[in-house]
Structure 1
Amino acid sequence: MRLNKFLSYCGVTSRRKADELIKLGKVSVNDQIVTDLSYRVDPKKDKVYVNGKPVIPPPKVYYVFYKPKGFLTSLYDPHHRETIKPFLDKLPYKVFPVGRLDKYSEGLLLLTNDGDLANVLLHPKYEVIRTYWVWVTPELNLQKIKNLITKGIFIENKLIKPLKFRLLKQDKSQWIYEVSVKEGIKREVRKMVAYLGGKVHKLLRVRFGPLYLKNLRPGEIKPLNKKELSELLNFVDQLRSSKILSKSSSAEET
């Protein structure tokens, strides 16, 4: 990890101001002053000081967040659209969202500062299940749904087959379907519904891997309890032991 990123990660200052501290000789690593802005540190081994005071990495934290509709899953937007950053700023530690939901989608997001865990959960090889409830009009053709599940459709040059696509209930003039996918392709659920001739009125993520939305309300953030955290860490350990992780990133935005 670059030194300026480490200082920002630890809450010392912004990356830009960290660069100034480094250039001024205010930062030392293992008792040696560092002025090289490209210098990299190992947070687990290196001892970093700013003005002689030790910099202590924050503990790893894990939260579930109900992203409300109308917010970008981003910490900054050059076009000044509303993002989820104000919700995250209320937390005691800097965190980031694991994966994305598009502006008009809502529901479960995992927030953490554990980059290794996030990389595993988002890696396409591991096919972590995402489950959504989607409000649709008109009612979708059952035979077309069956064909979609068995034959799939191509999205971004990849054959996609939902793991589950079933009608939950009718809500007034709309039909609510439960859809489970494993690819994390941008807007794949919306594209499936469009392929079936439907229009999405609401899209709610209710599950991500072992985590469930449960009774969270829009905008609410809750730390994982001991049971939830244990299940998440065990789930990730099982993924790590099942396949070799190569460098990649998910462009998920459903």
Structure 2
Amino acid sequence: MERLQKILAQAGVASRRKAEELILAGKVALNGEIVRELGTKANPEKDKITVDGRPITIQATVNLILHKPTSYVTTVSDPEGRRTVMDLLTDVNQRVYPVGRLDYDTSGLLFMSNDGELTNRLLHPRYHVDKVYRATVLGMIEKQAVEQLTRGVRLEDGVTAPAEVHVLRKHPLESVVEITIREGRNRQVRRMFEAVGHPVKRLKRVQFGPLVLDDLKPGEWRWLTPDEWAALYAAADLEPPPYAGPIEKARTPQKKRQSGKRQRAQTARRR
């Protein structure tokens, strides 16, 4: 038995928070009865659950990594008609949504999922999920600025938590800095660098928790590997669902091609 809002999130209907709003609004029914209590539990395999009269379907868990280019918004849809990250997900039949956000002008690793419980854990400050960015900033960054970033920077919405900072390259015109944060404030990294006198020229996220961007090209996406799958759920302190990825699907055509080569070789020998 699980809470209704969790079941709705797992079914890809909405995030956990949005699912709670649907329940409170009287849009969710359990076995024909409207439910308005957030603590209500159900068995998704036995009970009939509907949203606005439509039955829900529990989807297989989908987790993937996208290399978000700049000039895309990190939303499912955009009222201004701008390109969204969803436009880049070819051959993904299940409904997934971005976990966290990357700014319009920021590129890099974006994790996408349909697992509402995993999403909530990864975004909650309690779990301290590392987010690693590579920033090209204006000017030669000096020790004092690095120390400020490391201790925490005062912004209009409060002092940031301590960050890990590594200077990769320094030059009078611009510097390249790798910074690790565990918060998720709006445009936080850009505001932090601007506060210490080094506005950001380019910004890319290269790591999210145990997930690393590596050589994935801008606009490309890939499924998580089994090791990444296990590490991600461990980081969120969750029991992982069965792995769902491309490995078995990818192996099958390869075996068929190898089998075909062997058959042609055997036929040639008979001749």
- Percentage of identical aligned residues: 30
Distance 1:117 1:208 in 2: 14
Q: CA distance change for structure 1 residues 117 and 49 in 2, over 3 Å: closer, same or farther?
A: closer
C-alpha deviations, 1:83-129, integer Å up to 9, x for none?
11212364121001110011000111111100001001101222211
Distance in 2 between residues matched to 1:7 and 1:132, nearest whole Å: 30
Pairwise CA distance, 1:162 = 3.8
Residue 104 of structure 1: aligned partner? 105
The 3-state SS of whatever aligns with 1:107 is strand
What SS does the aligned partner of 1:237 have? Answer: coil
Aligned residues: 219
Aligned-partner SS, 2:44: coil
- 1:235 pairs with 2:235: yes
What residue number does 2:68 align with?
A: 67
Query: Which is bigger in relative contact order (C-alpha 8 A, separation at least 6)?
Result: 1
Give the secondary structure class of the aligned counterpart of 2:180. strand
Q: Which residue of 1 aligns with 2:12?
A: 9
Deviation string 1:133-174 (CA, Å, 9 cap, x unpaired) is 001111122222213323x22234332144212211258953
Distance (Å, rounded) in 1 between the aligned partners of 2:216 and 2:153: 33
Corresponding residue number in structure 2 for 1:251: none
> TM-score scaled to structure 1, two decimals?
0.73
Corresponding residue of 1:164: 164
| Alpha-carbon distance in 2 for matches of 1:109, 1:85 | 11
| Contact 1:88-1:95 at 8 Å conserved across structures | no
Partners of 1:43 and 1:57 within 8 A in 2: no
Unaligned runs of 5+ residues in structure 1 are: 11-22, 240-254
Whether the 8 Å contact between 2:32 and 2:48 is mirrored in structure 1 is no
Change (3 A) 1:85 1:234: same
Please report how far the alpha carbon of residue 132 of structure 1 lies from its aligned counterpart in structure 2 after TM superposition. 0.3
Which structure 2 residue ranges, 5 or more long, are not aligned?
14-26, 240-271
Name the SS for the 2:222 alignment partner. strand
TM, length-normalised to structure 2? 0.69
Larger Rg: 2
Cα distance, 1:224 vs structure 2: 0.5
Between the aligned partners of 1:209 and 1:6, the Cα distance in structure 2 is 22
RMSD: 3.5
Higher helix share: 2
Matched, 1:126 2:119: no
